[in-house]
Chains A and B, each alone.
Chain A
């Protein structure tokens, strides 16, 4: 192609676009004006909606806020990491939004680079922290130990119903959020041992990845071969491989084993084999952030949500149902209807989680909610190693910052 033809093409494109632009210009600006309703923009992670986890939960939380708090919510999915800083700047400069909710840790760096320039713009960062306290920035974190501890008790109880005494976890990378899960899960197991006198063999395996289902599958198979009856998935997409391994293990008749999901309700993936999931309520976090703006209780810095605030916990039937519906709508749930999923989960729960286990769960839940006990959050790998070591020796108080578990 000759240069002149190229130039001609470009000129034509420009003429049409400028023409169209001029025409549209006189049509007026879009999205301007309107009332004084509080306006919130929810900025998703790069993947955006449809993950049936983080982003979809953020959406559910914002939708609830829109209904209950009478706010206007708009959504945006950045194309990539490089878009985050310019978008944050442009949105802040527009002054149009009372709050920008940033979903996921990818926003941490970009927020840290822009928050200081816009002191009048409020930001809420979900499930991550910049490590800097600013009056216009709320970093909302979860006390994962609390839900993992409850799951630890349930997993131990389920293992005994399955005729074994070994439980395990397929974990992602060896990073601080996972340390919290490890401490909580092991704490729950030791709590179960202490209260029931039944010994539990505990396996914990890091896979080093959150995205590789293949590694999740092989790691889970290894743990099952070591006698694990219940596996807790703590590795994002990797533990979908763990789910598959457990499904195959059961179907191939190698033994009976169950899986536990985490973050979103994942029971719908295979309700016969995943009777329960730990909850990390991103929806609650998003709602909480919006609520702080609406009710004028805004506070910068780190905010942690735990059992008390319903930021973490165990998914109840309604939660299981709403995720089954989401999965059904996006055609990922094929073999069952959402109601089937709920009824199977109910059956499985009553079969494998006995009354005494629920009693222990509620007992510990109360202690945490009352503020009687609170968990440590290790800051260094050494501190984390020490807590785990102490816990393995049966010293439950090593995991606690406040209170004590006296037998």
Chain B
């Protein structure tokens, strides 16, 4: 190697480091200012409404993150719906269907565990069911050009009412008609010496998604598809297939979340679906808060669950209405997610416009 080229290499390397350092600094300022602003804004709202902000934050964080077992249990389904939103988005699709993918995962896992008395079969069945439902939306998008946002919202409601019908009309518990048949005792997943097993499974799944995304051929193709479908085509891979894979993987994550929820936490579903409703939508926030990165999503789900748990205690301890805690959580999460979402939306929308 000649001296000239070596110095050139050093030059480019140092240049890269410099620009990256600028990026790091930007991230640092962005994140810290977001959080401080959120806490301040929430604090002002609290003070105006006559609550002591320090006291409220104290309760929110102390109780929210004080009960580790509860915290990890609660973050399990949220982590999975976070992935259900994030993975398709990496390939360029907005999966709003985490909601129904979780419902069907929970319901199929319930049935499978009820009839086979096996949690392994329950988990597998729930995961497959969620994945198939996700892939269905992906197939509609790719082969029929149906916008995945619209179709997944429609599918959400179809499955919401379908499962309500099945639980209240067919698979209800005769002793308590508002509940579905229960998961048999031998198929439930219990914590091992206070360590949340369902959380551990969810973390393993997230790590698996990380490996798929960043260290496999499929993951690479999905990421390229998300950045530019034209480049994917030019590079010789089929972006359509990558999109379907991403929906399959996303749906499977939500299905697994639903399965873990019924097998490890609620052991049945109620006929108003209050056990599962809303988890998919919350997953959208978690996916964005976790910066669409499987490892980030693990942490985001824990952070978000802590806030949700703490919010309940804020009502108990301060007498504030539950909507106040929800507002506070909303402010914090939005402030943390917004800089990233803004960039993401701009780049994705520009990309879509270029193609279409």
A interface residues (Cβ-Cβ under 8 A, vs B): 1, 3-6, 8-10, 12-13, 16-17, 20-21, 24, 27, 29-31, 41, 46, 48-49, 74-83, 85-87, 90, 105-106, 108-109, 131, 173, 175-176, 208-209, 211
B interface residues (Cβ-Cβ under 8 A, vs A): 23-24, 27-28, 30-32, 35-36, 39, 54-55, 57-59, 61-62, 67, 69-70, 73-74, 77, 168-169, 175-179, 261, 265-268, 270, 272, 274-279, 291-293, 295-296, 299, 303, 308-309, 311-313, 315-317, 319, 321-322, 336, 340
Contact B299 A10 (CB under 8 A): yes
Contact A16 B35 (CB under 8 A): yes
Contact B308 A79 (CB under 8 A): yes
Closest Cβ–Cβ distance, residue B99 to chain A (whole Å):
13
Q: A82-B74, A105-B178 are in contact. Are A6 and B58 (CB under 8 A)?
A: no
Question: Which residues of chain A have C-beta atoms less than 8 A from B176's C-beta?
Answer: 105, 108-109
- Chain B residue nearest to A9 in the complex (CB): B31
Question: Which residues of chain A have C-beta atoms less than 8 A from B277's C-beta?
Answer: 80
Contact A12 B178 (CB under 8 A): no
Partner of A27, one of B23, B54, B309, B321: B54
Question: Which residues of chain B have C-beta atoms less than 8 A from A79's C-beta?
Answer: 308-309, 311-312
- Chain A residue nearest to B344 in the complex (CB): A1
Which has the most chain B C-beta neighbours within 10 Å: A20, A80, A175, A211? A80
Closest Cβ–Cβ distance, residue B189 to chain A (whole Å):
13
Instruction: Write 18 A-B pairs (CB below 8 A) sorted by A numbering.
Output: A3-B295, A5-B23, A9-B291, A30-B59, A30-B62, A74-B316, A79-B311, A80-B274, A80-B276, A82-B74, A82-B77, A82-B265, A87-B312, A105-B178, A106-B274, A108-B176, A173-B177, A175-B177
Question: Which residues of chain A have C-beta atoms less than 8 A from B55's C-beta?
Answer: 30
Contact B28 A12 (CB under 8 A): yes
Partner of A16, one of B32, B178, B276: B32
Partner of A208, one of B61, B168, B278: B168
Q: A24-B57, A105-B178 are in contact. Are A78 and B27 (CB under 8 A)?
A: no
Contact A76 B168 (CB under 8 A): no
Report Cα–Cα, A234/B3, bound state, in Å: 89
Closest Cβ–Cβ distance, residue B254 to chain A (whole Å):
15
Partner of A48, one of B36, B67, B322: B322
Contact A12 B322 (CB under 8 A): no
Contact A173 B340 (CB under 8 A): no
Contact B291 A1 (CB under 8 A): yes
Question: Which residues of chain B have C-beta atoms less than 8 A from A9's C-beta?
Answer: 27, 30-31, 291, 296
Report Cα–Cα, A10/B292, bound state, in Å: 13
Which has the most chain B C-beta neighbours within 10 Å: A3, A74, A76, A79? A79
- Chain B residue nearest to A47 in the complex (CB): B274
Nearest first, the 8 A-B pairs at minimum CB distance are A81-B275, A86-B70, A76-B316, A24-B58, A9-B31, A46-B274, A12-B31, A77-B322
Report Cα–Cα, A6/B67, bound state, in Å: 26
Question: Which residues of chain A have C-beta atoms less than 8 A from B313's C-beta?
Answer: 76
Report Cα–Cα, A124/B176, bound state, in Å: 18
Contact A80 B278 (CB under 8 A): yes
Report Cα–Cα, A393/B282, bound state, in Å: 55
